[in-house]
């Protein structure tokens, strides 16, 4: 009985310590994108597995594409 109680207390202590540790290492949303070369992170978005940057001369849209640069 004493062993069960000790094991329970130990488990609770370990869980509590883990929670404190994880809470202290939350992902920083302001961290620079990887790879870090993309020098102006505020202007760069990563909508999927890549990085996009558009100047004011190009607008993104939700309209269905008529063609793409992946034609071949």
Partner 1 sequence: MEEARFEGLGSTCHLLGVGLEQGRLSWGAAWVAEMHHRFSRFEPDSEISRFNEKAGHWAGVTSELEQMLRAALDAYQLSGGLVHAGVLGSMLAIGYTRSLAVGPTAAVLTAAAPPPPLSQLLEVDTGRARLQSGFGIDLGGIAKGWLADRLASELGENCLVNLGGDLFASGGGPDGDGWPVGLGAVTVLLSNQGAATSGTWRRAWAQGAVRLHHLIDPRTGLPAVSDLSEVSVVASNAVDAEVHAKAALLLGSEKAAAYLDVHAHGWWLAPQSR
Q: How far apart are CA 8 and CA 4, in angstroms?
A: 6
Interface residue with partner 1 among 3, 5, 26, 48 (CB under 8 A) is 48
Q: Which of the stretches 2-10, 15-23, 24-32, 56-64 binds partner 1 when contact is defined by CB under 8 A?
A: 56-64
CA–CA–CA angle 38, 43, 48 (5° rounding):
75
* Gyration radius (Cα) of the chain, Å: 24
Of 22 and 63, the one with the shorter C-beta distance to partner 1 is 63
Q: Which residues bind partner 1 (CB under 8 A)?
A: 35, 37-40, 44, 47-55, 57-72
């Amino acid at each position: 009985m004493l062993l069960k109680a000790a094991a329970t207390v130990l488990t609770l202590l370990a869980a509590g310590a883990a929670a404190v540790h994880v809470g202290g290492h939350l992902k920083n949303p302001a961290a620079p994108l990887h790879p870090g070369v993309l020098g102006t992170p505020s202007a760069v978005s990563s909508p999927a597995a890549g990085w996009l940057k558009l100047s004011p001369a190009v607008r993104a849209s939700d309209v269905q594409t008529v063609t793409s640069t992946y034609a071949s």
